[in-house]
Amino acid sequence: MLSLIQKRFFREAVYNTIFPKTNISNGTKLIYAKDIIYNCLKKQGVSDAFIYSGGSIMPIIDTLYDGDINYYVNSHEQNCGHALTGFSKSNLEHTKKAVVMTTSGPGFTNLITPMLDMTNDSTPGVFITGQVPLSAIGTNAFQEAPSVALSKHVTKYSTQITSIMDIESEFDKAFDIAYSGKMGAVHIDIPKCIASSSILEDEYNYLLNNQITNYYPAIDFDMFNIENYDIDNSVNAINNSKKPVIYLGQGCVNDYELLRKFAINGNIPVISTIHGCGIFDETHDLSLQWCGMHGNATANYTLQEADCIIAIGSRFDDRTTGLVEKYAPKCFEAYNNGYGGIIHVNIEKEELKKVVDSHYNYNMSCNDWLKKAITNIKYDSRTNWLSYIDTLKKKHPFTYNEVPNKLFMENVLVGMYEKTKEKNTIITTGVGNHQMQTYQYIKSSYPKKILSSGSLGVMGAGLPYGIGAKIANPDKMVIVIDGDSSFNMTCSDMKTVVENDIPIKIAIMNNNSQMMVTIWEKLFFKQRYTATLNERNPEFTKLAESYGIKSISCDSLEDLDQILDTFINYPKAILCEFKIEQGICLPLVGPGKALDDMILPENYDTKINEMNNKNLLAPS
């Protein structure tokens, strides 16, 4: 592999040999790098761009002035990245594509969070950033940052373009990597001297047609061959098990129809991660909704009791397993006794046996595994198993408060679900109790109904996610559900909403606290409340009005139904501040606890007394 410096010298030597400076033909049309970049974006089907301008990116952004790629100027570069994430998360088949364009230095460093958020949540997207000229790199020039060195740790691929001749091949490569296999963010860094460069048309075509720049290896995705796997072996384990359950992740999102057929044909209950919600209809009798730290108690108990877990497109995130050493004990017992076990299907080879020591491992797409497995799956009435699960469902529903003259978050969410469940809706959230309770009380009958930051847990992502989701899905209702702490981080993007007349609905769950962390302080840190209570929130309704967004508020259960009607039916952008009581989000799997060792409404007092008696503190 040649270094960047070696590549440049090699290219210049070839270029000067073919086109000596004394023989360059005059009068040939010039081709500009910025136009090559624009044409590359059109070739890849890019329809939209989230941008924030600055010196080094200006030559590229200039092409948008009279082009037909729609562009949106967010209030902050981080919001550009989150808007791209919402756009991409909400577009299942990725028939629409968007990009981010920002300048160098802080324009780039502000993108690190959304880059990592996208990569961690397997969401594809391409980030294009400016850079100081090649001659200034390494001199601590104004707005210089070691962008590739930084972004390579948070993306699938990061590259700096050092020649006009590399633009097409690098853009093709970038989109190929971002949207192939386990998807994620890709970063292209373009020095201003390259973005401003040009070349004679005949020279460019000659070099391009003779592939002078194609001196690096083609992309190797380590493709698998389905014929190398004995899928029948795992299907037999399912058919022989007494208590199987499907554990579903977003890797199966595009195969939801096949997955539903597989589960129903085998009469197998289904549990998902939060990103997998809706892949299997959560209103179906076989659905146990989602598992994990704040997940459905029935789902958590079922995973611990199951003798066969079929993990499809999921990766055993720590928030879904609890203490790994105590995860799924009955599966390991069953496997040791010659049946059942843990089956793991994942397109990313490195995810297999990474967290859980699974027994049947398949490095392939969910589609490939399901198409073969469905031919041999057997229907089983599973009377005892499903009866046990039904008992759990009746015993452990998500409960909610109904106290006269007091408004709780679950009251709002239940009411919102009832008024929107028949509509084609996308909901985006920030991170916190409001996020978890949104997944608890709003069921998904189709994939990606709810979008939020999962693995990285980015507070403030809700509003820019909603902007991106609405741009990608103009015919769907988009509701942003955010907490006051989370919304404070990115509320400036209301500017973007108004400037572009984006008709999203913003619901602020205001309890004047960073509630999820406040609860941890209450439970595990002797009620030492430090930096989690918001003593001076803005008046969110007045803040929205200052941007030009209609605003309303609700602080009582008696007014909730009427306020929700106004909120849901208003045709343009609207913000509603719900002034809610502080409360705990249950179930809760505490730190270092097994998945079935939960704090539940019925055992709350007992669990708290146990922790107080043990003087239990959360690990630092």
Catalytic residues: 77, 142-143, 192, 516
Pairing of strands 598-599, 588-589: antiparallel
Q: What is the DSSP letter of 308?
A: E
428 contacts 442 by C-beta, under 8 angstroms: no
- C-alpha gyration radius of the chain: 26
> CB atoms < 10 A from the CB of 300, how many?
28
Sequential DSSP letters for 354-378: TSS--SEEE-S-HHHHHHHHTTT--
Q: Which helix (H) or strand (E) holds 345?
A: strand 341-345
Q: d(Cα 277, Cα 436) in Å, to the nearest integer?
A: 12
Q: d(Cα 69, Cα 47) in Å, to the nearest integer?
A: 5
Name the 3-class secondary structure at 433.
Answer: helix
> CB atoms < 10 A from the CB of 608, how many?
14
Pairing of strands 308-312, 341-345: parallel
Q: Which helix (H) or strand (E) holds 439?
A: helix 433-441
In the structure encoding, which two tokens stand for residue 164, read together? 């006009």
For residue 527, what are the contacts with CB-CB under 8 A and spacing of at least 6? Answer: 521
Is it true that the peptide bond before 587 is cis, omega within 30 degrees of 0? Answer: yes
Q: Three-state SS across 23-85? A: HCCCCCCEEEHHHHHHHHHHHCCEEEEEEECCHHHHHHHHHHCCCCCEEEECCCHHHHHHHHH
Q: d(Cα 105, Cα 99) in Å, to the nearest integer?
A: 18
Nearest alpha-carbon partner for 60 in 100, 112, 11: 100
Greatest C-alpha distance within the chain = 88
**CA angle at 475 for the pair 410 and 480, rounded to the nearest 5°:** 30
Q: Which helix (H) or strand (E) holds 506?
A: strand 505-510
Q: d(Cα 155, Cα 174) in Å, to the nearest integer?
A: 11
Q: d(Cα 486, Cα 546) in Å, to the nearest integer?
A: 20
For residue 129, what are the contacts with CB-CB under 8 A and spacing of at least 6? Answer: 56, 57, 101, 102, 103, 104, 107, 108, 111, 147, 187, 188, 189, 190
**CA angle at 51 for the pair 50 and 53, rounded to the nearest 5°:** 175
Q: d(Cα 472, Cα 478) in Å, to the nearest integer?
A: 11
Q: How many residues does the chain have?
A: 620
